[in-house]
C-alpha cells in the first residue's frame, strides 16, 4: 500500500513509466517527461533525468500535464455545426463523415475559385507544420500561414537582413551576455539553468528589459528602457563603441557594407540623447557599451518576438544586432554562432530535408501569397503567407477571394483587433479547426476535429545538445481524438493529391526528411528517451571567411540593400512607436501611459494553460501590472477593479501593484477571454516591414472603477 501511495513503479504496484515529451511550450523546450501509468492512466509526471535539455526538471506548466491531458473540456468526437455560425451549436459526426465533408468542400472551392482560395493555418502546437505546408502546396495553395506571423520569424528577418543568417548566443563559452528583452526564467527555463551555470563561472550579464525580471535581478547591469525605444538604445551604445574606438576594425574593414553611413547616422545618438529617448541614464548606457565591447567574447541573446512587436520592430532589432558585427562577435566561439536548425527550428548537429519536404512547389508556380503586396520583404525572407493580412483579404476579396481555412490550433485572439478577425472568419464558406479543446475560435468553425496531446501520439523533436527523440504514445488516444498528422495524411488521400511522400505516410515522410543525417525512425524507436546524435557535425567558426554572407552584397550589412530595393530605409533607423508621446502628443494627453501587452508569466504560455486549475490559481483573474507610484496618483489600491482603455476600446481588470514595472508603463498579459487586451489594438497597427503587430508599445489610460 505504501508503494502505491508513493507511486513506486514495479510489478507489485502495477505502475510503469513511459517516456514522452511536453509540448505545452513549443518549440524550444520540449522537456522530456517520465509518465507514470497505472491501468493505462496517467497518475504522475516527472522530468526525464537522462534528457540533457531539462535534466529531470519541469516548469509549472509541465507539472500540470495530467490536468491538461484529462481536462473535462477535451473534445471527444468530430463535430459539425448545427446552427448559425458562431453560436457554438454542433452535432457529433463520425470521422468518415467529417473528413468526406471537408474534402468535398475543398475540392469544390478549388474548382470554383482556385486552390489559392484555401488557407492552411498552423497555430499550436508546431509539430505538424512541415506536413501541413506540404499539403497546402501539393493542393496548389501558396497560403500556408502560422502563428509565426506574430512570433519568431521577424527576429529571424532582422538577422537575415543584417548577416544573412541567424546566430545564437554561445552562452557556455561567452564572457559577456547581452540579454535583450527576454526572460528565460519564464519563457525557457531549460536555458536559464545554463545561464546560471555560466554566471557562476564569471559570465557578465547585461539585461535590457522594461521590467525588473528574474533575468534583470541576475544582471551586472540592468537597462530598463521605455517600451519601443530599443533601437535608440542600441544606437546610443554603438555611439560609445565607435567614438571610443572599441569596435573590431578587421571585421568592419573586410566583412561589412555601409559602415560609413551607419557611423554617420549613429553620431546623433549620443548617450545623453539615448537617455532622453529611452529613460536609461547616460552613464548606464556608457557602462553597458564598454562592458559588452571589451569583454570578449561577448554574445547577444535575443527574444522570439518582444522587440519585433513594435511598429518599428525589425529596424529596432537590426540596430541591436549591428552591435554584434560592430564588436566582431559574429560566428565565433563564445559570441553568436551560426548553427542551422535540424528540425522544427532547433539545431541538433545533423542535417535534414525539412525545408525541401515542406516546399515541394516553387513560389513562382503559384499565385502571390497573402500579404505579398503589403510585406514584400517578408515574402523574400519567410516561406509563409503573412497571416496578419488574413482578415483584410477575407473582407476585400483582393487580390483574390479567400473562401476556406483548414486550421490546426487556431486562436483568433492572437490578431490585433481580435473581434475583427472573428467576424472575418464568419464570412468564410468553410472553416475547420483541429484542437484539443472547444476554444472560442473552434466555436466559429463549421467542423471541429479532436486532436491528441503529445502523450497520445508519436513525434520527432530535436534539442540543441545534439540530442533527438522520436516518441511513442504513452497512452492511447483519448475518446475519438487523432494525431494532427493522421488528419493531414488522410485529407491528402481524400483530396486525391498525387504526392508520393504524402501518399507514403507520416513515418515514411520522416525517414525521407532525416535521410541526409543518417538517422531513421526505426533506429530512433530503439531509444524511447531519446539519443545523442551519432557523428554530430562540428560547428565551425567564421564561416563567412570562405562563404561570405547570404546578403545581396555578400557582407554583413549595416545598410540593407534588400530593404532599399523595396523602398525602405537601409540603415537601422530609429522611429518612435506610431502611438507614442513623440508621434501622437495630442493623444497622449488623454492616454498618458505606455501599454505593453503579452509580457510573460511563468505559469502561462499564451492561453493554453488558462483552463488548468493549478496554473490558473496563480493569477485567477485578469490583472494589469502598474507601478505603485502611478497607482497612488490615481488613488488605486491593490486588487481594485480598473478600466484599461485605448482609443479603440476598453476592458475591465484588476490592478496589480508591483515595483517590477516602470512608472508610466502598464503591462497586461494577453489571452484572457473575459479581458482580451488585443481588442484594444487596431488591426493595422503593424510594422511596415514584417507585418507584426505593435503589441508592446501603444498609448493607454487607466481609471479606477467604483464598486
Are residue 47 and residue 184 in the same domain, yes or no? no
Q: Would 579 be classed as within a structural domain?
A: no
Are residue 461 and residue 500 in the same domain, yes or no? yes
Contact 54, 28 (CB under 8 A): no
Are residue 663 and residue 693 in the same domain, yes or no? yes
Residue finishing a domain among 314, 337, 360: 337
Q: Would 550 be classed as within a structural domain?
A: no
Are residue 522 and residue 429 in the same domain, yes or no? yes
Contact 161, 381 (CB under 8 A): yes
Question: Residue 208 sits in a domain of what CATH number?
Answer: 3.40.228.10
Q: What values do phi and psi take at 591, rounded to 5?
A: -120, 85
Cα distance from N-terminal residue to C-terminal residue, the chain = 53
Q: Which 3 state secondary structure label does DSSP give 91? A: strand
Alpha-carbon gap, residue 435 to 307, rounded angstroms: 29
Q: What is the pTM of this model?
A: 0.96
C-alpha dihedral sign at 551, 314, 379, 23: positive
Are residue 284 and residue 348 in the same domain, yes or no? no
Residue 342: per-residue pLDDT: 95
Q: Would 159 be classed as within a structural domain?
A: no
Contact 167, 331 (CB under 8 A): yes
Q: Would 576 be classed as within a structural domain?
A: no
Residue 499: per-residue pLDDT: 97
- Domain of 16 in residue numbering reads as 2-69
Q: What values do phi and psi take at 120, rounded to 5?
A: -110, 115
Q: Would 670 be classed as within a structural domain?
A: yes
Q: Which long-range contacts (CB under 8 A, 24 or more apart) does 245-253 make?
A: 246/289, 246/290, 246/293, 246/294, 246/327, 247/293, 247/326, 247/327, 247/328, 248/326, 248/327, 248/328, 250/328, 251/325, 251/328, 251/330, 251/556, 252/325, 252/326, 252/328
Residue 61: per-residue pLDDT: 87
Which residues, in sequence order, are CB contacts of 296 under 8 Å at separation 6+? 175, 176, 327, 329, 334
Alpha-carbon gap, residue 6 to 46, rounded angstroms: 13
Residue 1: per-residue pLDDT: 58
Residue finishing a domain among 337, 368, 388: 337
Question: Residue 87 sits in a domain of what CATH number?
Answer: 3.40.50.740
Are residue 18 and residue 128 in the same domain, yes or no? no
Are residue 24 and residue 173 in the same domain, yes or no? no
Question: Residue 42 sits in a domain of what CATH number?
Answer: 2.20.25.90
Domains held by the chain: number: 4
Q: How many residues comprise the chain?
A: 707
Q: Would 256 be classed as within a structural domain?
A: yes
Beta bridge partners of residue 432, listed in sequence order: 406, 447
Are residue 633 and residue 522 in the same domain, yes or no? no
Are residue 403 and residue 438 in the same domain, yes or no? yes
Alpha-carbon gap, residue 335 to 301, rounded angstroms: 10
Question: Residue 609 sits in a domain of what CATH number?
Answer: 2.40.40.20
Q: Would 394 be classed as within a structural domain?
A: yes
Are residue 174 and residue 303 in the same domain, yes or no? yes
Neighbours of 575 (CB within 10 A): 18
Q: Would 433 be classed as within a structural domain?
A: yes
Are residue 613 and residue 652 in the same domain, yes or no? yes
Are residue 83 and residue 61 in the same domain, yes or no? no
Which stretches of the chain drop beneath a pLDDT of 50?
A: none
Amino acid at each position: 500500500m505504501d508503494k502505491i501511495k508513493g507511486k513506486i513503479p514495479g510489478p507489485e504496484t502495477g505502475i510503469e513509466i513511459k517516456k514522452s515529451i511536453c509540448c505545452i511550450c513549443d518549440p524550444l523546450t520540449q522537456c522530456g517527461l517520465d509518465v507514470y501509468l497505472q491501468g493505462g492512466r496517467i497518475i504522475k509526471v516527472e522530468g526525464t533525468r537522462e534528457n540533457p535539455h531539462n535534466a529531470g526538471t519541469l516548469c509549472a506548466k509541465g507539472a500540470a500535464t495530467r490536468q491538461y491531458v484529462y481536462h473535462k473540456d477535451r473534445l471527444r468526437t468530430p463535430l459539425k455545426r448545427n446552427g448559425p455560425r458562431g453560436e457554438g451549436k454542433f452535432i457529433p459526426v463520425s470521422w468518415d463523415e467529417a473528413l468526406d465533408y471537408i474534402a468535398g468542400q475543398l475540392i469544390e472551392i478549388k474548382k470554383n475559385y482556385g486552390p489559392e482560395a484555401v488557407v492552411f493555418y498552423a497555430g499550436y502546437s508546431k509539430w505538424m507544420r512541415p506536413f501541413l505546408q506540404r499539403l497546402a502546396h501539393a493542393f496548389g495553395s501558396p497560403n500556408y500561414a502560422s502563428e509565426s506571423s506574430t512570433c519568431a520569424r521577424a527576429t529571424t528577418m532582422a538577422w537575415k537582413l543584417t548577416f544573412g543568417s541567424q546566430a545564437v548566443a554561445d552562452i557556455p563559452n561567452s564572457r559577456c551576455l547581452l540579454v535583450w528583452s527576454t526572460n528565460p526564467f519564464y519563457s525557457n527555463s531549460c536555458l536559464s539553468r545554463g545561464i546560471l551555470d555560466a554566471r557562476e563561472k564569471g559570465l557578465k550579464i547585461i539585461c535590457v528589459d522594461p521590467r525588473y525580471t528574474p533575468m534583470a535581478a541576475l544582471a551586472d547591469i540592468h537597462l530598463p528602457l521605455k517600451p519601443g525605444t530599443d533601437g535608440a538604445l542600441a544606437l546610443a551604445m554603438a555611439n560609445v563603441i565607435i567614438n571610443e574606438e572599441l569596435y573590431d576594425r578587421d571585421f568592419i574593414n573586410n566583412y561589412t557594407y555601409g559602415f560609413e553611413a551607419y557611423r554617420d547616422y549613429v553620431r546623433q545618438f549620443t548617450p545623453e540623447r539615448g537617455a532622453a529617448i529611452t529613460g536609461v541614464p547616460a552613464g548606464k548606457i556608457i557602462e553597458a557599451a564598454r562592458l559588452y565591447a571589451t569583454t570578449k567574447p561577448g554574445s547577444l541573446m535575443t527574444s522570439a518576438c518582444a522587440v519585433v512587436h513594435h511598429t518599428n520592430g525589425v529596424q529596432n532589432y537590426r540596430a541591436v544586432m549591428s552591435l554584434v558585427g560592430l564588436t566582431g562577435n559574429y560566428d565565433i566561439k563564445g559570441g553568436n554562432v551560426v548553427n542551422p536548425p535540424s528540425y522544427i527550428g532547433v539545431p541538433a548537429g545533423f542535417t535534414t530535408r525539412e525545408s525541401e519536404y515542406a516546399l515541394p512547389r516553387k513560389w513562382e508556380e503559384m499565385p502571390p501569397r497573402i500579404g505579398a503586396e503589403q510585406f514584400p520583404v517578408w515574402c523574400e525572407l519567410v516561406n509563409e503567407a503573412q497571416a496578419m493580412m488574413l482578415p483584410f483579404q477575407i473582407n476585400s476579396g483582393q487580390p483574390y477571394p479567400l473562401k476556406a481555412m483548414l486550421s490546426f490550433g487556431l486562436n483568433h485572439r492572437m490578431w490585433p483587433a481580435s473581434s475583427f478577425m472573428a467576424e472575418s472568419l464568419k464570412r468564410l464558406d468553410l472553416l475547420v479547426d483541429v484542437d484539443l479543446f472547444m476554444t472560442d475560435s473552434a466555436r466559429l468553425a463549421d467542423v471541429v476535429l479532436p486532436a491528441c496531446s503529445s502523450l497520445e501520439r508519436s513525434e520527432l523533436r530535436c534539442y540543441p545538445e545534439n540530442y533527438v527523440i522520436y516518441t511513442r504514445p504513452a497512452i492511447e488516444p483519448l475518446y475519438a481524438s487523432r494525431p494532427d498528422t493522421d488528419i493531414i495524411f488522410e485529407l491528402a488521400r481524400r483530396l486525391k493529391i498525387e504526392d508520393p511522400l504524402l501518399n507514403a505516410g507520416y513515418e515514411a515522410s520522416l525517414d525521407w526528411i532525416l535521410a541526409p543525417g543518417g538517422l531513421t525512425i526505426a533506429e530512433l524507436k530503439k531509444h524511447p528517451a531519446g539519443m545523442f546524435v551519432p557523428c554530430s557535425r562540428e560547428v565551425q567558426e567564421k564561416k563567412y571567411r570562405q562563404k561570405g554572407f547570404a546578403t545581396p552584397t555578400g557582407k554583413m550589412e549595416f545598410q540593407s540593400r534588400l530593404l532599399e530595393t523595396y523602398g525602405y530605409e537601409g540603415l537601422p533607423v530609429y522611429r518612435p512607436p506610431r502611438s507614442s508621446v513623440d508621434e501622437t502628443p495630442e493623444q497622449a494627453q488623454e492616454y498618458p501611459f505606455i501599454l505593453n501587452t503579452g509580457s510573460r508569466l511563468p505559469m502561462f504560455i499564451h492561453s493554453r494553460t488558462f483552463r488548468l486549475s493549478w496554473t490558473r490559481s496563480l493569477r485567477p483573474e485578469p490583472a494589469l501590472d502598474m507601478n505603485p507610484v502611478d497607482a497612488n496618483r490615481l488613488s488605486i489600491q491593490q486588487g481594485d477593479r480598473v478600466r484599461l482603455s485605448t482609443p479603440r476600446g476598453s476592458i475591465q481588470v484588476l490592478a496589480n501593484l508591483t515595483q517590477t514595472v516602470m512608472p508610466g508603463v502598464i503591462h497586461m498579459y494577453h489571452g484572457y477571454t473575459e479581458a482580451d487586451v488585443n481588442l484594444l489594438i487596431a488591426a493595422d497597427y503593424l510594422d511596415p516591414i514584417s507585418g507584426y503587430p505593435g503589441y508592446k508599445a501603444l498609448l493607454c489610460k487607466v481609471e479606477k472603477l467604483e464598486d
